[in-house]
């Protein structure tokens, strides 16, 4: 096993273990609401001509009382980028299009419009280089300053434990990235986003994996607290309409600007897993 293969396998094991813990916590919230909803898991295999081991993944999907639709995907894929796409990826080129990618991706759309939707993903890629990326951002149809502050404080703590510059850098990156130019608005109230934390050696891999683990732990710590805080709130038809209109903007961002959506489509990923981020219902005025 090469060093990079070992790194990919180590990262994969973490992403899968994080998936299991997140899904268990979300199912526990459903039990608290009197729901028997559970995640249903569908495995898929990637296909690439001439590639005997292109990998694949598992899509976990739950539709319940609190979580109207939540998807948690894990995948590990390997192969070659199309030449025109390779040049857009760190460390890849038309001459060196090979890649391996492993990661977890989560999007939760909530039944109650007072409960914020959320997105989280972390990933490890190898091309001519190797690096971690990811983050999490909060997407409330009806924002609460307390929720926003608690979400950011938890990720600030995770970042500060590793580098005093990380939080401000990655918060700004999220603010710049999760923006809908044609609307002139942000997708939500932000969070953190990072990419290209490169791993040229074992020490860098261990350092960046430790940070990426803490991003996952921060999410698992703070988001269930926000759900429990708001999930029994009363809401009006006007609140629900606000949620549906906001979901339309969320869908616009994911279909037009989201890198993860583009990466999945360009690398032959599972269509249902890629588009699980879209809300179950949305409205455009």
Are 74 and 62 in contact, with CB atoms under 8 Å apart?
A: no
Q: Which residues contact 149 (CB under 8 A, 6 or more apart)?
A: none
CA–CA separation, 46 and 13 (whole Å): 19
Angle subtended at Cα 243 by Cα 271 and Cα 279, rounded to the nearest 5 degrees: 10
- 186 catalytically annotated: no
Question: How crowded is the C-beta side of 280, counted as CA atoms within 13 Å?
Answer: 14
Question: How crowded is the C-beta side of 275, counted as CA atoms within 13 Å?
Answer: 9
Residue 48 DSSP code? -
Are 220 and 72 in contact, with CB atoms under 8 Å apart?
A: no
In 3D space, the residue among 81, 52, 72 whose CA is nearest the CA of residue 265 turns out to be: 81
Residue 64 DSSP code? -
Neighbour count for residue 104 (Cβ, 10 Å): 25
Q: What angle do the packed helices 145-160 and 166-177 form, to 10 degrees?
A: 130
Helices (H), the chain: 3-32, 83-86, 145-160, 166-177, 202-230, 237-256, 259-266, 271-274
Angle subtended at Cα 189 by Cα 280 and Cα 61, rounded to the nearest 5 degrees: 30
**Per annotation, catalytic residue among 109, 119, 152, 186:** 119
Active-site amino acid positions: 119
């Amino acid at each position: 096993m090469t060093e990079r293969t070992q790194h990919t396998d180590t990262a994969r094991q973490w992403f899968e273990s994080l998936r299991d813990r997140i899904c268990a916590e979300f199912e526990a919230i459903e039990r608290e609401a009197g729901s028997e909803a559970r995640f249903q898991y569908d495995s898929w295999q990637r296909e690439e001509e001439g590639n005997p081991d292109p990998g694949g993944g598992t899509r976990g999907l739950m539709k319940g009382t609190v979580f109207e639709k939540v998807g948690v995907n894990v995948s590990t894929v390997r192969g070659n980028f199309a030449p025109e796409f390779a040049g857009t990826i760190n460390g890849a080129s038309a001459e060196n299009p090979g890649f391996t990618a492993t990661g977890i991706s989560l999007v939760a759309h909530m039944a109650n419009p007072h409960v914020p939707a959320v997105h989280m993903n972390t990933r490890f890629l190898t091309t001519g280089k190797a690096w971690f990326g990811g983050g999490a951002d909060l997407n409330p149809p009806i924002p609460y300053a307390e929720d926003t502050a608690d979400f950011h404080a938890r990720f600030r703590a995770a970042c500060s434990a590793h580098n005093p510059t990380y939080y401000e850098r990655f918060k700004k990156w999220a603010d710049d990235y999760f923006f809908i130019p044609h609307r002139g608005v942000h997708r939500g109230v932000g969070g953190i986003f990072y990419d290209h934390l490169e791993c040229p050696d074992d020490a860098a891999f261990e350092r960046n994996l430790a940070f990426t683990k803490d991003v996952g732990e921060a999410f698992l710590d703070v988001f269930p607290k926000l759900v429990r805080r708001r999930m029994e709130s009363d809401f009006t038809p006007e609140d629900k309409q606000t949620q549906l209109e906001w979901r339309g903007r969320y869908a616009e961002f994911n279909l037009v600007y989201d890198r993860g959506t583009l990466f999945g489509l360009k690398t032959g990923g599972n269509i249902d897993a890629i588009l699980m981020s879209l809300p179950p219902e949305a409205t455009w005025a």
